[in-house]
């Protein structure tokens, strides 16, 4: 009798490589900024290392947590996601920064509920779509309840406002509906119905409209609305094939905004060159392939949807972030998973990877 399958070590090593790259690049991109702002060049490095440590513990815990128990937690996690997303919007509880109420602050640490809500929504959708398996092609019994429940979570995220995360979650929900077997006509109709709303949100809010224009015509106002993306182009383009060298980037010297968060991939291109950037892209590609392989080789739908959702949560966000940095997509405010600075994102993603690794031990033998 054969024993249980082993964890997917290729996936594990890939994630560890991305986390290690992230810790190094957070220090490289933030040392001067941290020295100027906090008089401690290691400020962001120490916090990112702490977040990585907590995240790895969460990953190990979830590697041995029976995923079948997550079915019982589906509704509680959805409710918790709604409650903390709503709490962010309450004055005096939510912490405002950069014009958005996206954080709950505890002394010197902050928690971003929308990051937790991504994983909570995926677990709920995996359970809900499995439960509705026999009626998945029904509009009233499956499609509409899924869209309404998911839409409520997405609306709370958009209210912060975090239009980028709301867009990301919307795409993820429709992809899971498509894979689960929902009628394509319902999905297309919902997308068409959402288009006027998205158009209104883009064109009637000044900063979003400016982002859209800077994406379409980035060189029209390089010192104004297009400053960030133009600096990203200059950063990535100056790296050449092998880069300027680790720590030798120039655009992080108060030229490129958010070099350690949203635009860290630009600095990777500048300091490590096209070769370094391609290695990072390759690691995310390996992650996506291994995640999809796990999803396709699972015998039960809940596990398959869960594996697919977690894989999409990370790989799709990485694709969007790199697309923004390269000017292929409008600026969305999404970070690069495992690499960008940020505790909630790193811990949540590593917890999700732990679930994915646990699922890898339940693959069907061929």
Q: For a pLDDT cut of 70, what percent of the chain falls above it?
A: 98
154, 223, 233, 241, 333 from 167: Cα distances, Å:
8, 28, 24, 33, 11
For residue 194, is pLDDT > 50?
A: yes
CA dihedral in degrees (199, 89, 84, 139; nearest 10)? -30
Concatenated DSSP letters of 51-104: HHHHHHHHHHHHHTS-GGGHHHHHHHHHHHHHHHHHHHTSBTTEEEETTEEEEE
Choose the weakest-confidence range: 169-183, 194-208, 343-357.
Answer: 194-208
User: d(Cα 88, Cα 101) in Å, to the nearest integer?
Assistant: 6
For residue range 103-117, list pLDDT tens digits in order. 888 777 788 999 999
User: d(Cα 61, Cα 120) in Å, to the nearest integer?
Assistant: 17
Concatenated DSSP letters of 127-156: HHHHHTGGGTT-IIIIIHHHHHHHHHHHHH
Q: Residue 40 CA to chain centroid, in angstroms?
A: 28
> What mean pLDDT comes out for the span 308-333?
94
Answer left, alpha or beta for residue 97, where phi above 0 means left and psi between -120 and 50 means alpha: beta
Kindly report the backbone phi and psi dihedral angles of residue 96, in degrees, each rounded to the nearest multiple of 5, phi listed first: -90, 135
Per-residue tokens: 115: 């990051």
Q: Which residues contact 183 (CB under 8 A, 6 or more apart)?
A: 137, 139, 143
For residue range 61-100, list pLDDT tens digits in order. 999 999 889 999 999 999 999 999 999 998 888 887 766 7
Q: What is the pLDDT of residue 4?
A: 55
User: Which residues on adjacent β-strands are paired with residue 97?
Assistant: 100
> What mean pLDDT comes out for the span 117-121?
96
Mean pLDDT, the chain, whole residue set: 92
**Contact of 270 with 249, CB cutoff 8 Å:** yes
H-helix or E-strand spanning residue 106: strand 100-106
User: d(Cα 151, Cα 205) in Å, to the nearest integer?
Assistant: 21
Q: What is the pLDDT of residue 274?
A: 97
User: d(Cα 320, Cα 170) in Å, to the nearest integer?
Assistant: 14
Q: What is the pLDDT of residue 17?
A: 99
For residue 1, is pLDDT > 50?
A: no
DSSP letter, residue 91? B
H-helix or E-strand spanning residue 227: helix 227-237
């Amino acid at each position: 009798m054969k024993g249980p399958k082993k964890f997917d070590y290729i996936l594990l090593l890939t994630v560890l490589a991305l986390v290690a790259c992230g810790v190094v690049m957070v220090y490289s991109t933030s040392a001067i900024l941290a020295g100027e702002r906090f008089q401690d060049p290691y400020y962001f490095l120490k916090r990112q290392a702490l977040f990585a440590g907590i995240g790895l513990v969460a990953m190990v815990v979830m590697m041995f947590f029976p995923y079948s128990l997550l079915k019982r937690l589906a509704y509680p996690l959805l409710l918790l996601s709604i409650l903390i997303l709503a709490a962010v919007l309450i004055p005096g509880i939510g912490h405002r920064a950069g014009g958005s109420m996206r954080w709950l602050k505890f002394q010197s640490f902050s928690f971003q509920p929308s990051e937790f809500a991504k994983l909570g929504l995926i677990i709920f959708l995996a359970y809900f779509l499995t439960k509705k398996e026999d009626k998945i092609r029904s509009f009233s019994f499956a499609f509409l309840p899924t869209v309404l429940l998911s839409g409520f979570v997405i609306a709370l995220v958009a209210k912060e406002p975090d239009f980028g995360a709301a867009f990301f979650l919307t795409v993820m929900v429709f992809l899971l509906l498509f894979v689960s077997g929902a009628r394509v006509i319902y999905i297309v109709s919902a997308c068409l119905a959402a288009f006027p709303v998205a158009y209104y949100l883009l064109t009637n809010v000044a900063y979003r409209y400016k982002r859209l224009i800077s994406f379409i015509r980035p060189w029209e106002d390089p010192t104004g609305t297009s400053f960030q993306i133009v600096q990203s182009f200059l950063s990535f383009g100056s790296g050449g094939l092998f880069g300027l060298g680790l720590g030798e980037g120039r655009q992080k010297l108060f030229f490129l905004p958010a070099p350690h968060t949203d635009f860290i991939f630009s600095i990777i291109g500048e300091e490590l060159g096209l070769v370094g950037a391609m290695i990072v892209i390759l690691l995310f590609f390996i992650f996506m392939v291994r995640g999809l392989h796990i999803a396709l080789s699972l015998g039960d739908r809940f596990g398959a949807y869960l594996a697919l959702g977690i894989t999409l949560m990370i790989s799709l966000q990485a694709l969007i972030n790199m697309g923004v940095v390269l000017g292929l997509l409008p600026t969305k405010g999404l970070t690069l998973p495992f690499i960008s600075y940020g505790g909630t994102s790193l811990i949540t993603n590593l917890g999700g990877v732990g679930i994915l690794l646990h699922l890898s031990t339940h693959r069907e033998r061929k």
